[in-house]
Amino acid sequence: MQIILITESTKSCNSDYKYIKSCLDYFYCSRENAIKNISAKCKSELIKQDVKIENLRKRFHGHSEVIICADFDDKEDPDNGRIIKYARKNGYNIAWMNIDVEEVFLGKRIKKKDKSKEALNFLKKKDILLCKNDCLAECEPFKKHPCSNLLVVLDKYLKRKSNIN
């Protein structure tokens, strides 16, 4: 199976994918599957990746699942509704980060200029931070923050490691 992740960060920074890939490596036997990332640059671009998705599907000989990794940001954000509508229309999953990916993985908000640096710092101590993170498997990620349904979505497709510390 191929898992296609669509993340908000730019291709050069790729900070969102760094957090999510660390989570995949820590919790799952992900090497059994192809994991591909599409960097959408920003939240409003998450729903404009059809050509890239189709290209990845064509190159892979097998089943593909698409997971949109979106920051919730604010309940008034009109992009949230557009993302939900787009995902339903196409049969995609949404892994919500409430309020954003940095708050879910680091427990704090990060200024845009510091996102790349903070993601690299996270990678240095990811195992320690991930084993203590208890907000990645919320079925209803809008009810509190920080939290995410990332593990709930990934559990549909990937097998968890049995020897997680």
**pLDDT at residue 50, rounded to an integer:** 98
Order across the sheet with 64-71: list the strands: 34-39, 2-7, 64-71, 93-98, 147-148
Q: Is residue 40 part of a domain?
A: yes
- For residues 25-29, give the mean pLDDT: 93
Question: CA–CA separation, 115 vs 57, rounded Å?
Answer: 30
When pLDDT is cut at 50, 70 and 90, the band that residue 31 belongs to is: confident
When pLDDT is cut at 50, 70 and 90, the band that residue 165 belongs to is: low
Domain ranges, residue 105: 2-155
Task: Give me 22's structure tokens.
Answer: 């660390």
Q: Is residue 163 part of a domain?
A: no
Rg of the chain taking only CA atoms, in angstroms: 15
Q: Is residue 144 part of a domain?
A: yes
Greater confidence (162 vs 82) lies with 82
Task: Express each pLDDT in 47-103 by its tens digit.
Answer: 999 999 999 999 999 999 999 999 999 989 999 999 999 999 999 999 999 999 999
Q: Is residue 165 part of a domain?
A: no
CATH number for the domain harbouring residue 54: 3.40.50
What value, to the nearest 5°, has the Cα angle with vertex 19 and ends 16 and 22?
A: 140
CA atoms within 13 A on the CB side of 141: 29
How many distinct structural domains can be found in the chain? 1
**pLDDT at residue 35, rounded to an integer:** 96
Task: Give me 76's structure tokens.
Answer: 């008034």
Share above pLDDT 90 across residues of the chain, in percent, rounded to a whole number:
88
Question: CA–CA separation, 29 vs 164, rounded Å?
Answer: 11
**pLDDT at residue 7, rounded to an integer:** 98
50: Cα separation from own chain's centroid: 18
Q: Is residue 20 part of a domain?
A: yes
